[in-house]
Amino acid sequence: MDMVAGKVKMTQQSVNSTMNPIDALERPIRLTARDVTVHYGAKQALHGISIDIPDRAVTSFIGPSGCGKSTFLRCINRMNDTIEGAKVGGTIKLDGDDIYDPNLDVVELRARIGMVFQKPNPFPKSIYENVAYGPKIHGLARSKTDMDEIVVSSLRKAGLFEEVKDRLNEPGTGLSGGQQQRLCIARAIAVGPEVILMDEPCSALDPIATAIIEELIDELRENYTIVIVTHSMQQAARVSQRTAFFHLGNLIEEGVTEDIFTNPEHKQTQDYIMGRIG
Amino acid sequence: MTATVSITHQTSLERTKLIRASLTRRNLSEKIFRGLGLTAVVLALGFVALLFIDVGRKGIPAFVQSNLHLSVTFDPAIVGGEVPPVQVAGQSDADFQAANLKWQRSVAMLNWNKVIEASLRTLVPAGIEISSKDLLTIAETDARHEVRERFVADHSLLGKTVDIDVLASANAANWIKGNIDRSLPDNQQQLSAPTRAVIDSMVANGAISNGFSWSILTNVDSRSAPASAGLLGAFVGTLYMMLIVIVLAVPIGVASAIYLEEFAPKSRLTDFIEVNINNLAAVPSIVFGLLGAAAFINYMHLPISAPIVGGLVLTLMTLPTIIIATRGALLGVSPALRQAALGMGASKTQMVFHHVLPVTFPSILTATILGVAHALGETAPLLLIGMKAFVASVPATPFDQATALPVQIYLWQGNENRNFFEPRTAAAIIVLLLVMICLNGVAIYLRSRLEKRA
């Protein structure tokens, strides 16, 4: 790993008592974004975003619809590459390596930075195949036993194994919405990523499924750097250690979650949190 | 309150009244639309039913053939002549073959009609005077080939009497089936009065019986013997063309569609290509025939009236259809699936082949089969590359001369002999429709099976 650019301050979470308290107050920086801009054709969607994202913690992006939070998230694993007419400027570094380096293979990048989408989107294949797909295309399993192990441990980490262990060969699309989303998380974990991006992972789920996913996110942060985009301020407050507030393509402010929610520096942040912009 | 009411001052009763009034209008227009739709469907189904009834009524009798059971005596006085050669020691194979061919030619020159006439004569009941010429009109003209081939195959039959089934002539068969008005005067009948009497007595004593006409499926076309003209040559020609279209059009079409839809950069060039493909789909099929004649026959010197050229022309004709259908299917795949694959770090090729294609496979398959079926029903382009020639053989390879089922229908329909254009045409249409129904059935079956699995 390259030299990290610095350390980021953290606070302990006290919102949900079942969640593990974070042990250290300072974390090394994993992702560094400097002056990131995105244009969709003539329209500018992001105006120079600069942010540091800490290792093995949850960073949440909040803000009203169309504020650019999802656009910025999709810059981090270069999913914007797939959109016709999208142009990304500025630099984003993962452990000091520029992810927009022309010599960097986007396939390798996406193996290191996994993604979970807004709507659960399991492949129309069996549960087993869903989880095994990533390791298979990246050549991570040397044998069938290896693969079985990866699948089982990924499903376990996603908290889904007990529910599906008897029907691994049934289609993943037959699961409930919350289970499907956990399957998508298991699928992302199976590749062994360092960073997991989540784009409003609970917006299509009911409150119970949402609570399960949130608990899972809290467990996962022990091993993974997580960036989550959310519409729900309560969710940001519950699961994240750091929060960034976006508005109209600008990063208005970011910092320790508790500070953002209790003592924001900017009036716009205050207004949004109070429900005055929406 | 004034007479005019503004919305805000309407009572709920007034609103209900207004809604009811508009409801009547809406319900009426819905009823009219439904009625029109139903009428259209009933009309369409009515015409399809009419077509099937008409074709069935005319064509199904053609699947019944009248078999003539003859006791043929290989009279040495007529067929004695030369004896077949026997390979002697020291004679080369080639020499023996030449001698054998010479013998077969001499056998072909024998008067086999005389043998058949003698056999028929034994079935003429006492008291009927019938000339040799009239008597021979009972058997189909290819009967002598059948009798001759028996003899060539087994020369020991000389002097013996064997039972041989031959086809009754088309005229005789029509008389037996009652297709000809029996009350017509002699001068309007195809068959002479004694011939008709002999035929009736043969039917009565079992010398002629009706059975399923395998000959229409197993024989090749014939011009002189309507009762024995069959579809095998045309069927095999169509089969070769189908194979060529499937082997060429399907991979090329699907691959082009995948490239254009998934990989090609959006540029003026790809726009131009797209417009052209859409236009090609609308080009009249006969133009493709001209193209085939010019490109494949005049320029590339491929054989004329061969299934290979027909298959290539139909491939060109089907390509746009397959490309458009495949692109449509690819376009319909949800972006979520593509994102899921790309987000996992799949390359574009892996995304297409692991996720997009399996999902679209059923619709691509259906579109392809329908495209192929449509191509096989085409007649016009085949006429221009010479596939309307009379071919009385089964093509051994796609490079041999052949015709195709729809062209065979065209040829029979254009024949001046009513024994061809009446029942044979309809029978050929039935066979062609059955082939189409089979192809469409396969498409429906595969689609439902694959969709269930997905």
Q: Residue A243's domain spans which residues? A: 7-273
pLDDT band at A4 (very low <50, low <70, confident <90, very high): very low
A108-123: per-residue pLDDT in tens?
Answer: 899 899 999 999 999 9
Q: Is residue A131 part of a domain?
A: yes
- The answer to whether A261 and A249 have CB atoms below 8 angstroms apart is no
CB contact under 8 A, A124 and B359: yes
Q: What percent of chain A has pLDDT over 90?
A: 48
- For A124, the token pair is 């129309």
The SS3 call for residue B283 is: coil
Distance from CA of B353 to the nearest CA of A (A): 12
Calculate the average pLDDT of chain A: 86
Question: Residue A228 pLDDT more than 90?
Answer: yes
Flag the least confident range among A42-56, A171-185, B2-16: B2-16
- Chain B residues with CB-CB distance to A136 below 8 A: none
Q: Is residue A249 part of a domain?
A: yes
- Chain A residues with CB-CB distance to B265 below 8 A: none
Question: Residue A223 pLDDT more than 70?
Answer: yes
A139 shares contact with chain B (CB less than 8 Å): no
CB contact under 8 A, A137 and B355: no
Nearest-angstrom CA–CA distance, A277 and B11: 38
CB contact under 8 A, A82 and B345: no
A121 shares contact with chain B (CB less than 8 Å): yes
User: Could you say which of B340, B342, B347 has the minimum Cβ distance to residue A123?
Assistant: B340
Res A1: pLDDT: 39
CB contact under 8 A, B343 and A119: no
B interface with A, Cβ–Cβ below 8 Å: 266, 334, 336-347, 350, 354-355, 358-359, 454
CB contact under 8 A, B342 and A121: no
A133 shares contact with chain B (CB less than 8 Å): yes
Res A23: pLDDT: 40
Distance from CA of A188 to the nearest CA of B (A): 7
- The answer to whether A10 and A22 have CB atoms below 8 angstroms apart is yes
- Chain A residues with CB-CB distance to B453 below 8 A: none
Q: Phi and psi at residue B142, in whole multiples of 5°?
A: -90, 5
Secondary structure of A156-203 in the HEC alphabet?
A: HHCCCHHHHCCCCCCEHHHCCHHHHHHHHHHHHHCCCCCEEEEECCCC
Q: Is residue A150 part of a domain?
A: yes
CB contact under 8 A, A133 and B344: yes
Mutation target vs A (from B271, B331, B344; most A CBs, 10 A cutoff): B344
- Chain B residues with CB-CB distance to A121 below 8 A: 334, 336-337, 339-340
Closest to A16 measured CA to CA, from A242, A264, A240: A240
Distance from CA of B264 to the nearest CA of A (A): 12
Q: Is residue A2 part of a domain?
A: no
Distance from CA of A264 to the nearest CA of B (A): 34
CA distances from B343 to A79, A123, A241, B45, B100 (A): 7, 12, 25, 50, 76
Res A19: pLDDT: 39
- Chain B residues with CB-CB distance to A114 below 8 A: 343-344
Res A13: pLDDT: 46
- 0.80 surpassed by pTM: no
Q: Is residue A181 part of a domain?
A: yes
Pick the CATH number of B232-453 from 1.10.3720.10, 3.30.1320.10, 3.40.50.300, 3.30.2020.30: 1.10.3720.10
Flag the least confident range among A19-33, A88-102, A173-187, B281-295: A19-33
Residue A259: Cβ within 10 Å count: 16
Q: Phi and psi at residue B276, in whole multiples of 5°?
A: -65, -40
CB contact under 8 A, A79 and B454: no
User: Could you say which of A84, A111, A119 has the minimum Cβ distance to residue B345?
Assistant: A111
Distance from CA of B337 to the nearest CA of A (A): 6
Top pLDDT among A194 and B86 is at A194
Q: Is residue A278 part of a domain?
A: no
* Chain length of chain A: 278
Q: Is residue A1 part of a domain?
A: no
Res B106: pLDDT: 83
CB contact under 8 A, B346 and A77: no
- Chain B residues with CB-CB distance to A184 below 8 A: 340
With a cut of 50, list the residues of chain B below it in pLDDT. Answer: 1
pLDDT band at A6 (very low <50, low <70, confident <90, very high): low
Q: How many CA atoms lie within 13 A of B267 on its CB side?
A: 4
How many domains does one find in chain A? Answer: 1
Top pLDDT among A92 and A13 is at A92
- The CATH number assigned to the domain holding A133 equals 3.40.50.300
For residue A111, what is the nearest residue in chain B, using CA coordinates?
B345
A261 shares contact with chain B (CB less than 8 Å): no
The residue type at B272: F
